[in-house]
Amino acid sequence: MTATRRAAPLTPPGRQETDPAVVRVGHRRIAGVRTRVLEVGPPQEGPRRARPRRRGAARSERPRLVLLHGYCDSADTWRPVLEELGAAGHPAVAVDLPGFGAAEALRPGPMLPQLDMFTAALLREQAALGTVVLAGNSLGGTLGLRAAQDPRLPLAGIASIAAPGFVDSWLIRTVARYPLPLRLYSTLPLPVPRFVVRAIAEQVVPWLLYGDRTTAEPEHVRRFLELFPDYRSTTHRLHQARQLITELAAAYQLDRVRVPLLVVAGGKDRLVSAASGRQLHALVPHSRLLVRDDWGHCPQLDDPAEVAELLAYFAAGVHHSAGTRAPAGGAAVPAERDAAG
């Protein structure tokens, strides 16, 4: 749940663009939406030009990880994880979801169907290059679960990190109920000064994103603050968040999830409690659950190296069963990290 900033240079000084560890940045249309794409791994032909695999031909050596961010976030939240994955030779891609980051805006109307269409097109695009495993944080976790409910999509497994809509925190319940303080804020006759909005956000953002706010990276906090530059944008995001929470009430049909599912929850998550992850795990019997007491709402910011290793391990576990929808007791998780389930 971080915001966006202008992309860094495509090739850092001293690094070659062909280096698989370099985060390559580009723009293209997915489901008719122009968006920004961050990618690591061995450079390949673009998905549109990729040749279809011959029947019986071997799949790529490693599955492709598709990384989806959360509400009010962007693909940049995955940059540290992408760098770790690229250095290890794992192909991965992160994108700005419609309405966030550098992507084109959402159209008026329900949000989740538009995001579902975008996610489905992205999965089909990436499946032309190999087995696809999706990892989503917050709203991205919701989109991953909804994609896993559709057996037509080429999805081998999903890691859902802090997906909302199960046992929500007091803050999400507050936004959903739209209490008096929020109503007053959105109807003030005079806009709240920009410096006041920013001062409040500078205190709140690290507390919301990280397990330990003292470890917050100024770069990520600054990118998030750019999403709330003034009173008008803040009230717009507030109304949008309330609409999304309303849609979450009917977002899931979890009995249709057949692919391996890894549920990740943080003990210091102030937005989606660990109880929410445990509830999701209980509702999908073949899933595996990982609870880390020291992680917050965005584990990819708390510990990118650990998250990259976890996702790579999970993806490798489902790679060999790609193409089947029947669960095999869930994907393997290293025993020392399987804190629950």
Top mean-pLDDT range of 53-57, 140-144, 175-179, 234-238:
140-144
pLDDT at 328: 36
pLDDT at 296: 92
Higher pLDDT, 208 or 163: 163
Q: In angstroms, rounded to a whole number, what is the distance separating the alpha carbons of residues 126 and 124?
A: 6
User: What 3-state DSSP class applies to 95?
Assistant: strand
Per cent of the chain over pLDDT 90 is 52
- Residues 286, 260 contacting (CB under 8 angstroms): yes
pLDDT at 170: 54
Q: Is pLDDT at 323 greater than 60 in this prediction?
A: no
Q: What is the pTM of this model?
A: 0.78
Q: Of 282, 287, 279, 281, whose CA–CA distance to 259 is shortest?
A: 287
Neighbours of 24 (CB within 10 A): 19
Q: What are the pLDDT digits (tens) for 81-138? A: 999 999 999 999 999 999 998 999 999 999 999 999 999 999 999 999 999 999 999 9
pLDDT at 123: 98
Least confident window among 56-65, 111-120, 258-267, 310-319: 56-65
Least confident window among 10-19, 94-103, 266-275: 10-19
Say if strands 92-95 and 64-68 run parallel, antiparallel, or are unpaired.
Answer: parallel
Q: What mean pLDDT comes out for the span 200-218? A: 63
Q: Is pLDDT at 72 greater than 50 in this prediction?
A: yes
Q: What mean pLDDT comes out for the span 16-24? A: 69
Grade residue 290 by pLDDT with cuts at 50, 70 and 90.
very high
Q: What are the pLDDT digits (tens) for 196-208? A: 445 555 556 665 6
- Residues 131, 322 contacting (CB under 8 angstroms): yes
pLDDT at 322: 56
Count of alpha carbons within 13 angstroms of residue 191, beta-carbon side: 12
Locate all alpha helices (DSSP H) within the chain, ordered by sequence.
Answer: 79-87, 112-127, 139-148, 170-177, 180-186, 194-209, 218-225, 231-248, 274-283, 299-302, 304-319
